Amino acid sequence: MRNLKLFILALTALVAISACKPKPVALHKMSTEVLKDKIAGGWAGKMIGVTYGAPTEFRAQGKTFDDPIKWTPKDIPGSMWQDDIYVQLTFMITMDKYGVDAPAKKFQEMFAKAGYMLWHANVQARKNYYDSIFPPASGSPEFNPHADDIDFQIEADYLGLMCPGMPATASKMADKIGHIMNNGDGVYGGIFIAALYTQAYLEYDIPTIINNALKSLPAESDYAKIVAAVITLHHHYPNDWKAAWKELETKWGADHFCGAGYDFNIDAKLNGAYIVMGLLYGGGDPLKTLEISTRCGQDSDCNPSNAMGVLGVIFGFEKLPPEMKNGVTRMGDSLFINTDYSFNIAVENTYDYAIKLIAENGGKINGNEVGIKVQAPVAPDLEVSFPDVVLDKKISVFDKNAWAFSGDWKAYQRNGWPDNKPYNQAMFAEKPGDAFEISFTGSGISIDGNWFKDGGKADVFLDGKFVRIIDTYYFYNNQEHDNITLWHVTGLTNGRHQVKLVGKGEKKPESLGSKIYITQAIIYKTAPKKSASVKFSFEK
């Protein structure tokens, strides 16, 4: 009897343990051949899209591009010179050399030292590296006025490509890399693009892919709001993308920090909205997707590149239109500038990283089959780079009523375009103690000037207190920049403030001089942005 009781107790315990044992997680399975084909489709889509839209880039600002688009597969080799491709390949080279978990500073160093030109948030991150400002500060709104720009959005595709069905893993990697050059919506742009790719491995339905990718963003972010707005507009105007575009432009077109006051808009969220418009209104048709995302305007090579990359994963390389597929195949071994990567190498290495990450995140590799442990999206904490910061006015350096100069300042002349006539572009000084003061009413200011190869150092004071030293030297890969932010501040109490800049007469060893060039001041105020109050016409 005692043995029977012990047996019953043991059996009961075994049943209880079995009941508590978690059930095996169902894995999303695909063959290794399909996985590699989808990766190839993604890279091919990037190359096709960026060359399709390249001739239209920023030719339509605040309007749609309505001229003919002339593209043939013979244009695809032009992708070798596109920052949409070569920057993220540099990040992959960093992984090859230092590992997937290399610190963000190492990624910043590799692309800062790469031999290609950069712009906007990327070029600021490069300069920050040489000024000893490292991630995440290098992408922060304090040290990068381009924090919300498109840069990381156009170079985050590789993260989604190597994280099939794993948006949480992709987002974690994107959070690290994105803060090299961006912050807030600028980082969310890269997270969203990577998330689109992760979902494209699992689904064929484009609205489902977009809605699932949206879960990787904080719902309160402007980026999430504008994507949701495009979804709403698509429902209301299912067959009229131009009507949707007009509504979007009215509400969001002027909502950007970099380039405020101009129709030019390189903000991540608006250009991200154009990617979504291309995908939704394109309905899975490659040429239609390319055309719509391009005709939406602004950064109209980057947007079709992202959109076509996502389509490439959905359908795979082998199901792309033959002329597109053949165009990529013909240049498959050509190296992208300043990298040791070609299309074929990018596909092979991305596949290897995907296999590694699948295995590390609970998936299974079984011969010619992979089982992906599909992840739920995880949204990061909310970051807002420039909350309620709007343009007030711009003050030319030649406005004598606004600036008080002391020391030896002179006008810097250059030849204009296209007439080649000389004009005064900036005021400059180079001796220790040469200074200016400017007073303004508002909550922020940007002091703009030139980063030149003879640029020097200056002390910046705000309301009588020393802030920091700035260095205006820049000459990397034979590139200089004019009329760019030298120093800025936002988030001040609305009111009267004063900025003083004092030249130090000092320079980096490689600089040809110690000159400080000043072109203008941009004054900002704190006020609700237009997008917060404008409703769509059908909501009124």
**pLDDT more than 70, % of the chain:** 95
Q: What is the pLDDT of residues 83-137, one digit of tens each?
A: 999 999 999 999 999 999 999 999 999 999 999 999 999 999 999 999 999 999 9
Query: Per-residue pLDDT for 357 more than 90?
Result: yes
Which among 164, 142, 74 is positioned nearest to 370, based on CA atoms? 164
H helix runs in 378-458, sequence order: none
Grade residue 6 by pLDDT with cuts at 50, 70 and 90.
very low
Tokens matching residue 444: 């922020």
Q: What is the mean pLDDT of residues 188-213?
A: 98
Distance CA(160)–CA(162), nearest Å, equals 5
Q: Quick check: 195 and 170 in contact, CB under 8 A? A: yes
Residues 6+ apart with CB under 8 A from 146: 120, 121, 124, 181, 182, 186, 258, 266
Q: Quick check: 410 and 427 in contact, CB under 8 A? A: yes
Reduced to 3 states (helix: H, G, I; strand: E, B; else coil), residue 526 is strand
Q: What is the pLDDT of residues 141-196, one digit of tens each?
A: 999 999 999 999 999 999 999 999 999 999 999 999 999 999 999 999 999 999 99
Other CB atoms within a 10 A radius of the CB of residue 286 amount to 22
Tokens matching residue 38: 């989808």
Q: Quick check: 227 and 379 in contact, CB under 8 A? A: no
How are beta strands 389-396 and 457-462 bridged, if at all?
unpaired
Ordered structural domains, the chain, with CATH: 68-226+318-372 (no CATH), 389-531 (2.60.120.260)
Q: What is the pLDDT of residues 430-467, one digit of tens each?
A: 999 999 999 999 999 999 999 999 999 999 999 999 99
Q: What is the pLDDT of residues 122-134, one digit of tens each?
A: 999 999 999 999 9
Which among 97, 100, 29 is positioned nearest to 356, based on CA atoms? 100
Q: What is the mean pLDDT of residues 33-41?
A: 98
Enter the pTM of the model: 0.95
Please report, for the chain, how many H helices and E strands are present, in that order.
16, 14
Give the CA-trace dihedral at 109, 110, 116, 118, to 10 degrees: -50
Which among 425, 449, 466, 447 is positioned nearest to 524, based on CA atoms? 447
pLDDT of residue 24: 57
